[in-house]
Structure formats: C-alpha cells, structure tokens
Chains A and B, each alone.
Chain A
Amino acid sequence: MAVTPTDDLLERLKDLVYAKLYGAEHAKLDFAMTLTKARNSLNLTQKSLADKLGISQPYVARLEGGEVNPTLGTIGSLLAVLGYRLVTQTAPLSPEPISPAIEFMGAADVGAYILYKAAEIPYREEQYAYIALTAVESMNDLVPGRKADYPSRVAVAGGTV
C-alpha cells in the first residue's frame, strides 16, 4: 500500500518531542487560515485589513502565512476589529487516515454509504435520513438512467421522511 504524507506524519507523531513542535506549527497555521477566511468574508485585501487593524501589510501576510506567533490577546484584538471572537476547541492531533471504504467508493454508492453510517448512529435520525435521501436524489440526478432508492435502509435509519 502506498505511503502518503499523512502516513509519514502519523509515524513521526509517535515521538512526543516531534508532536510538540508539530502542535505549535499546526496552531499557527490554524489561526492563519481562520484570519484568511475572516478577511475573505469581509471582502478585504491584506492592505485594507492592515489599515483597519493599524498594522503593516507585511505583518498581515506573515500572520496569514503562519510565520508569526501572536499571543492569544493579540489574536482576540485582531478578530475583534473584524467583528469576530476567538472560539477555541480541541481535536485529535493525529489526522485520521482516509478509510479505504471511502477512498475506493464509487460515486453511485455514496448515498448507500451515508445511509449505512446513519443507521449506526441512534441520534438525530431524522436529519441523517433526510441527508441520505438528498444524497440518493442527487446521485439519481448525476447518473443518467439511475433511479435507485433505499426504502429499507431509510426505515433502519429511523427517518420519517
């Protein structure tokens, strides 16, 4: 089986020293992307954002490139000027490898897979069943002549649609 960059990373993360360094870089890049998306949502250029924040454009570029390490207070101030606040949450450090079941799934099987996953989860049945039915309908639209549905699986999913 081919070794991907994620496989290599998972191997390296077994080393705690490496994991700490990776975690620091990951956090900086996470904020970089958050700031970029916040700027895009307001249709601002890096220059106009810099003017709004009272900082230089090159510093915005470095923030968005994940090259600087702003304090939490600085992050809070930057986002406040844009009308946002920082929301923090934790997630597993290790990226999840792509499941082969998904990787090799044909497009026409996606609806059935969603139904299968929905049946595994006893919560929010209606929403999952609705999502699954929508996916099946979308597949029918995409694949000429395809008119599949999954009534028995929908019943398993507990949906009322």
Chain B
Amino acid sequence: MWQVDYYTRPTGRKPAKDWIEDKDNNSIRPNIDAKIQTLIREGPLLRDNRMLRPIEERRRRQRGRSRVIHGFFELTGKNWRIAVYHDLKKDMFLLFWGWRKTRQSEEREVERAIRLLEEYKSRQEE
C-alpha cells in the first residue's frame, strides 16, 4: 500500500480535492476515485500501463522543447488528468491539481500544476 494525499497550500486549500469535488466532475468522480485507489494499491506499477505518465514542461520560447520533471506524473483518465508528485524522501504520492483534458487547456493546466509543485518544494527547503 502506498500513501497518497492531497497537497495542502499555505492557505489551507487543497487544489486537487477542490477540483475532484467540483460539481462539473460528478460524472467522472467514480473513475477518479477508483484510479486513486489503484495508485494506493499499486504505486509506481501504474507506469507500466501508462496510467501514470511523466509530466513534461514545455518551453514555449525554446521552440517546443520539453523537460521532464523528476517524480512528477499525471494520473490519467479518459478525459481527465491529475498532477501527482512522488516524494521519494517521504515515500508518498501527493495530488496537486486536476483538469479536463482538452488540447487548449493542457499547457495552461500543466503550468499551474508545476507552480504548485514549486511552491511545495520551496516549503520543504525552509
């Protein structure tokens, strides 16, 4: 069993929890919950069938070149994604942010997830 938790911002908000509980996501919530439970049971094994995929940060100014952020993944559903960080020091997964997958939204949402991850990492260093 793996420990999976929401990331909590300094304000006390949990962005991933807020997104999952948004009423617009009622129809996909059973799928999201089932996948989170699968992550709890199987952990990194979800990489083998690409339920867990590395998140790439695209650099617009460098003509589409991308950079993989170590330990940062997206938990994938049919039309949704949740940004997940595998904190190796604490040996746990943290859920950061979720979004509906559309071609337009993807880059913006990934950037938001990365900002949250950077916030988390900077707080760990304090």
- Which residues in A have some Cβ–Cβ distance to B below 8 Å? 2-6, 8-9, 12, 18, 21-22, 24-26, 28-29, 32-33, 36-37, 40, 61, 64-67, 95, 98
Contacts and interface: CB of A to CB of B under 8 A. Distances in A.
Contacts of B25: none
B45 A36 contact: yes
Given A33-B45, A67-B78, A4 B6 contact: yes
B42 A33 contact: yes
Given A3-B6, A66-B34, 20 more contacts: A5-B4, A5-B17, A5-B20, A5-B33, A5-B36, A6-B37, A6-B40, A8-B17, A9-B33, A9-B37, A24-B30, A25-B33, A29-B35, A29-B38, A33-B45, A40-B48, A65-B51, A66-B35, A95-B37, A98-B3
User: For the side of the interface on B, what is the size category?
Assistant: 20 to 34
Contacts of B35: 25, 29, 66
B30 A65 contact: no
A95 B34 contact: no
B30 A25 contact: yes
Interface string B33-55: 11111101110010011110000
Given A65-B76, A66-B51, A5 B6 contact: yes
B57 interface: no
A108 to B, nearest CB: 17
B4 A18 contact: no
Contacts of A25: 30-31, 33-35
B1 interface: yes
A4 B33 CA distance: 12
Given A4-B6, A25-B31, A33-B42, A65 B36 contact: no
B110 interface: no
A50 to B, nearest CB: 13
A47 to B, nearest CB: 14
B17 A65 contact: no
B118 to A, nearest CB: 22
Contacts of B21: 8
B50 A65 contact: yes
By CB atoms of chain B within 10 A, which of A5, A28, A40 has the most? A5
